Copies of this chain bind each other. A is one copy, B any other.
Amino acid sequence: METLRKRFGERVRQLRRDAGVSQEDFADKCGFARSYMSRIERGTSNLSLDGIERLAASFGITVEDLFRGL
């Protein structure tokens, strides 16, 4: 099985695309640098609970939803 970083990155990318938002716009919404959002989606970022909390809030979903299927 792929690492959680990879699976989580793919989940974030899918949620963002489903919302029809560009990586740049979503990074701005989260208050993340565009390059950092790219690393999150590529699964090379070891995101922390605070970052996870911010992502879920920016998507308007629960953290449990953010990890749905992981």
- The residue in chain B whose Cβ has the minimal distance to the Cβ of A53 is B4
- The residue in chain B whose Cβ has the minimal distance to the Cβ of A3 is B53
Which chain B residues lie closer than 8 Å to A68 at the CB level?
A: 64
25 A-B interface contacts by CB (under 8 A): A3-B50, A4-B49, A4-B50, A4-B52, A4-B53, A4-B63, A5-B49, A5-B50, A8-B49, A45-B49, A46-B48, A46-B49, A47-B48, A47-B49, A48-B49, A49-B52, A62-B70, A63-B70, A64-B64, A64-B67, A64-B68, A64-B69, A64-B70, A66-B67, A67-B67
> What residues make up the interface of A, taking CB atoms closer than 8 Å to B?
3-5, 8, 45-50, 52-53, 62-64, 66-70
